[in-house]
Structure formats: C-alpha cells, structure tokens
Amino acid sequence: MDAADTTSPRLAAALRDGARTLDAAGVPDPMVDVELLAGHVLGVGRGAVQAAALRGDPLPAEDGAALAALVARRARREPLEHLTGTAPFRHLELAVGPGVFVPRPETEVVAQLAIDALAAVPMPRPRAVDLGTGSGAIALAMATEVPNAEVWAVERSPEAYAWTQRNAARYGGANAHLVLGDLADALPELDGTVDVVASNPPYVPDDAIPRDPEVRLFDPPQALYGGADGLDVVRVLSRVGLRLARPGGVIVIEHGEWQGAPIRDVLTGDGWRAAATHPDLTLRDRATTAIRP
C-alpha cells in the first residue's frame, strides 16, 4: 500500500455510511443492501465486498460516487433489484426494472410444485403454461429445469412483456414460447392438451395497499391487485385452466396467506379435483394445486 492509499476513502467506511443512510430510510436489511450495491458497482459478489472491507481496501473516488448515488436511490426505496437490474430466481438471474413485477423468493416454491408436476408427466414432450409470466420467472424455470417440456408464457402488459422477451432471449431455448395477450383467451390451440397450468396472478385485494414502498410504488399495479377480494384473476384462471388442461392435468396457483380456502372453493366449485394448499418456506400458505377430472 503506498502513501496515497492511506488517505483514500475506505470501502469499509463507505459501507458503514451507506448502511446508516439506508437504516434511517427504513430499509429492512441496510448492510446487506449496501454490500450488494457495492458489489454491483465493483463488479464482484457480496462475499468479495466483505473481504475487501475487512482488508481495508480503498474505494476509488469514481466508485464511491457511483455507490453514493445508488444508496441515495435505495434510500428513496427504489427496489434493490431495480438498481442492480437483476433478481435471482432459482438458478436464473432475471433482468428486471420498471414495468415488471420483481420475482419473489416465495414464488420459487410455487415454481417447484409446477416443475415437480411437469417432470412427473410420463410423456416425451409434456406441456406447461405460465399465465401472467412477468419477467418469465416460472416459465423459464420450467423450461430450463424440465428441458424436454414445451412451455408457453403469457403476459398482457407490453411493458412487462419486454422483460419477458429479454429474459427468454437469455434463458429460453427452443422450448419456451412467448405470447403477448390476455390470459383469459390465451392459447386456444392448446385446449385440452396442457399438463401443467401455472400462475402467480395479481391477488392483492384492491383495498389492501402494500406497506412496503418498494411494492406500493414500484411494482406495476396490474401485477398486484385482483379486485375486491383479490381473487378476480383466480376465478378466470380456474376456468381457463379447465379449458387448457388435459384430463389429469394440474393447476398451480400462487396466492396470499389467507386465500387457500376460498381458492380451493373456487376450484372445487368449477369441477377441479383434489384441491390442496401448500406452504412456502416460512410455512405460510402460498399455493393451491388441483387436478382436472
């Protein structure tokens, strides 16, 4: 280390200052976020940032300014994933930003239910659809983790669909098919042939405005709200699923913690069999599955 280094700003100090700023702004995990933002600026992972801070590495002025600008935006509660431009989802690093719903860790469990059902189909080319695909999270997880499957991803919002396309260009092979349109009348050419119908629909009741600014201000409203009881799109999904699924086909629907029972009622009332609700990793009810008779 030369003499100039001893007077350079240190990464560790920048992390401490950034974490203090984020803490004051009410960001839930301030040090995690500032380390991830520093990693984004420096082009390294969070572990390398922590190691550099422990070593007492300097932070070049340009990088310090870039980090400070990102911390200021995060303090205004812009989602971390919008600032880094990516969201991890299972083995994927999905591109995200304004206009698309940021995929959530709890949806990884929902995707697992769909993947398990798809992988269990004793056919050479099983078929799955993801209705309301957003970034493409569930569809691209299915297409990459069950590579012998054919997967269709449907999205109505043109802004979100641009992100679907971008992620499919990176991860989707020839087995991932994209459709811009309303799930209500999507894919009539597949009627009665689909093995797995998966969806993480908008399911927040209209008057249950989310507390987190990242959700309330940055997730697209059409990705969040599902009518008075949150189940408007679920009711459509149940009917569309019956149209698309083959006999014995499975529907997998993500939902809020308290919506398992009403969704089982919707599905059973429409004629689905064996409706069952499944918890996420925090043991909250998160998804309901059923089988087409």
Ligand X SMILES: C[S@@+](CC[C@H](N)C(=O)[O-])C[C@H]1O[C@@H](n2cnc3c(N)ncnc32)[C@H](O)[C@@H]1O
Q: Report the interface residues with ligand X, using CB under 6 A.
A: 101, 103, 107, 132-135, 137-138, 154-157, 160, 182-184, 200-202, 222-223, 233
Rounded to a whole number of angstroms, the minimum distance from the CB of residue 289 to ligand X is 16
134 is in an annotated binding site: yes
HEC secondary structure over the chain: CCHHHHHCCEHHHHHHHHHHHHHHCCCCCHHHHHHHHHHHHHCCCHHHHHHHHHHCCECCHHHHHHHHHHHHHHHCCCCHHHHHCEEEECCEEEECCCCCCCCCHHHHHHHHHHHHHHHCCCCCCCEEEEECCCCCHHHHHHHHHCCCCEEEEEECCHHHHHHHHHHHHHHCCCCEEEEECCHHHCCHHHCCCEEEEEECCCCECCCCCCCCHHHHHHCCHHHHECCCCCCHHHHHHHHHHHHHEEEEEEEEEECCCCCHHHHHHHHHHHCCEEEEEEECCCCCEEEEEEECC
Measured from the CB atom, is 200 or 238 closer to ligand X?
Answer: 200
Nearer to ligand X, 213 or 227 (CB): 227
Minimum CB distance to ligand X, residue 20 (Å): 32
Residues 142, 92 contacting (CB under 8 angstroms):
no
Q: Which is nearer to ligand X, 35 or 200 (CB)?
A: 200
Distance (Å, whole) CA 128 – CA 42: 39
Instruction: Say whether 269 counts as a known binding-site residue.
Output: no
**Residue 20 vs 156, nearer CB to ligand X:** 156
Of 41 and 94, nearer to ligand X (C-beta) is: 94
Q: What is the distance between the alpha carbons of residues 40 and 287, in angstroms, rounded to a whole number?
A: 33
In whole angstroms, the minimum distance from the beta carbon of 154 to ligand X comes to 5
Contacts of 41-50 spanning 24+ positions with Cβ under 8 A: 41/66, 41/67, 41/70, 49/11, 49/15
Q: Based on CB atoms, which residue is closest to ligand X, 75 or 111?
A: 111
Residue number, 38 or 138, with CB nearest to ligand X: 138
Please indicate if the annotation marks 201 as binding a ligand.
yes
Q: How far is the CB of 77 from ligand X (least distance, A)?
A: 19
In angstroms, give the least distance from the CB of 290 to ligand X.
19
Is 107 annotated as contributing to ligand binding?
A: no
103 is in an annotated binding site: no
CB-CB neighbours of 76 under 10 Å: 9
Is 28 annotated in some ligand binding site? no
**Residue 122 Cβ, how far from ligand X at the closest point, in Å?**
27
Closest distance between ligand X and the C-beta of residue 47, in Å? 26
Which residues line the annotated binding site for S-adenosyl-L-methionine? 132-136, 155, 200
Annotated binding residues for substrate, as ranges?
Answer: 200-203
Query: Which segments are annotated as binding site?
Result: 132-136, 155, 200-203
